[in-house]
Amino acid sequence: MLFALFISVGASAQNKHSKTSRFPSYKGLIMAGYQGWHNTPEDGAGRGWGHYLQRGQFGPGNLKIDIWPTVNEYEKVYKTPFSLADGSPAYLPSDHDVSTTDVRFKWMKEYHLDGVFLQRFVGNTRRRNPAVRNHFLKVMGDALDASRKYGRAVGIMYDLSGMRDSADVPVLIDDWKNLVDSMKVTSRGNNQTYIYHNGKPLVVIWGVGFGDGRSYTTKSVSKFVDFLQNDPVYGGCAIMLGVPTYWRELGRDTEKNPALHDLIRKADLIHPWTIGRYGTEAAYQAYAEVQRGDFDWCKQNKVGYVPTVFPGFSWHNLNPGAKFDQIPRNRGRFFWMQLSNAIKQGAGQIYVAMYDEVDEGTAIMKVSGNPPVGPSPFVKFEEGIPNDYYLYLAGYAGDVLKKKRALPPSIPLPKNGVKSK
C-alpha cells in the first residue's frame, strides 16, 4: 500500500514542460524585449488609452510616447486627437488586436529577428487588476500563436519593478503556474516556439540587484529562482537574470550585496541593463572595458553573458522635464557600434531593448517619419533613414551570430541604400 502511494505521488509530480523546443538554446539568437502594453478606448480591453496616456485628457501636449508608430501595414488602427502636418487625423494601433501582434511577428521573420521576450510586470499579474491582467494574457496568447505562424521564438521576462518584496513571491509563482497550466506556454510539444536554454525552458527575471532603493531584496528574488529551478512540477527552468550595468564591481547602479554574485552563479545567463549608461561613442568605449571584464567573469564562473544593446533613447513626453532625444540614434551608428562590438568580444547571443518601446524611444520596429505636429514633440529618424532600418540592423547582426554573414568593416546598408521610405 505504501509503495503504491509512493508511485501515485511520484506520478502526480511529473514535470509539465515539453522536453525541448524548436529553439533549444538562446545561443546564436538575437532577441528583443516586447512590451505589448498600448491600448485604445475602442479595442475592447477597457483600458482607455492604456500606456499611451499617463493621466488626464489624451491629446496634443499630453501623452507618454516619444516615437509615433507607422500605421500603414496594420489591419486596424484608431483615430486620435492628434493631427498630421497636412491637417489629417493621426492614427494609432492597439496591442489588444491580434492583427497588431501578427504584423509585428511578420516583421520579425522578414528581417531575421529571432524573437522576443514578453514582458510580465508584477502589477500586471495580480488578479485584483482584471482588465490589466486580461489584456496582457490576451497579448501573450496572440504572441504564442504568431510565433508558431512565423517561426519566431518567445520567452517570458518577469520585470520586478513595483514588486513588494516577499509578499509578491507567491504572486509570481501563481502566475507562472497559470501560464504553464492555462496558457501552456512550455507544453506545446517538442516543436514548440518557447525558447529553451541548456535543455530547459528559459525564464528571465529582470531587476535583480539594483541599488536604487527598491522594496524587494535579493533574498526574495532567490526564492522565486529556487521555485523555477527546483519545483518538481513547474520548475526545471533555465534562468536569465537582468542585472545592473556595474553588477560585477557592485558599483554605481548596484546594491552593495555580495549575495548578488551568489545568485548570479546559480543562473544560466545574465544580461546587464545598459540603457542610458552611455550616449556617445567615447562613453561607450569606456563601458566596453567594463564589458570585457564581464565576459571574463562569466566565463570563469560558467554563466552565459547576454549583451544588451539599444538604438537610442528619449522619454520627454513621459517626463516633460527630461531632454528630448536624449541619446540620438546617429543614423544607426550608435546601435551598430554596440552590436558589432558585442560580436567582436565573443557574444553568443544578444538582447535588444526594445522591439516596441515607443515610450522611451528605444523601439526598433517600424515607426513613422511623419508624426503629428503640435505641442508634443516626436523623435523621427534622420533624413534618408528608412523606417525599417533598425529591424534590418538587428537582423543583420543575428545573421552574423549564426555565421550566415561576415561582420562588415562598417555599418551595413540595405541593398537599395539608405533612403526615404
DSSP at 124? G
Q: Which pairing describes strands 78-83 and 89-92: parallel, antiparallel, or unpaired?
A: antiparallel
Is pLDDT of 9 > 80?
no
Measured from the Cβ of residue 92, the count of other Cβ atoms closer than 10 Å reads 23
Confidence of residue 7 (pLDDT cuts 50, 70, 90): very low
Residues 305-343 have pLDDT tens digits of: 999 999 999 999 999 999 999 999 999 999 999 999 999
Greater model confidence, 111 or 10: 111
> 240 vs 51, 86, 100, CA distance in Å?
27, 47, 28
For the segment 136-155, the average pLDDT, to the nearest whole number, is 98
Express as a percent the part of the chain with pLDDT over 70: 95
DSSP at 136? H
Residues 30-89 have pLDDT tens digits of: 999 999 999 999 999 999 999 999 999 999 999 999 999 999 999 999 999 999 999 999
Q: Indicate which CATH number applies to the domain containing 389.
A: 3.20.20.80
Cell of 341: 562590438
Are the beta carbons of 70 and 372 closer than 8 angstroms? Answer: no
Question: Residue 79: helix, strand or coil by DSSP?
Answer: strand
pLDDT at 1: 42
Max CA distance (Å), the chain: 81
Residue 218 placed within a domain: yes
Is pLDDT of 132 > 90?
yes
Is pLDDT of 372 > 50?
yes
pLDDT at 166: 86
pLDDT at 418: 54
Residue 387 placed within a domain: yes
Residue 416 placed within a domain: no
Residues 199-229 have pLDDT tens digits of: 999 999 999 999 999 999 999 999 999 999 9
Residue 370 placed within a domain: yes
Is pLDDT of 3 > 50?
no
Residue 85 placed within a domain: yes
Residue 116 placed within a domain: yes
Is pLDDT of 415 > 90?
no
Instruction: Look over the chain and give the mean of its residue pLDDT values, rounded to a whole number.
Output: 94
Residue 4 placed within a domain: no
Is pLDDT of 421 > 60?
no
Is pLDDT of 179 > 80?
yes
Among positive and negative, which fits the CA dihedral 122, 126, 129, 130?
Answer: positive
Are the beta carbons of 344 and 309 closer than 8 angstroms? Answer: no
Are the beta carbons of 261 and 298 closer than 8 angstroms? Answer: no
Confidence of residue 126 (pLDDT cuts 50, 70, 90): confident
Residue 145 placed within a domain: yes
Cell of 47: 483600458
Residues 243-287 have pLDDT tens digits of: 999 999 999 999 999 999 999 999 999 999 999 999 998 999 999
Q: Which domain holds residue 110?
A: 18-401
Confidence of residue 117 (pLDDT cuts 50, 70, 90): very high
DSSP at 53? B
Tell me the helix, strand and coil percentages in the chain, rounded to 5.
30, 15, 50
Give the total number of structural domains in the chain: 1
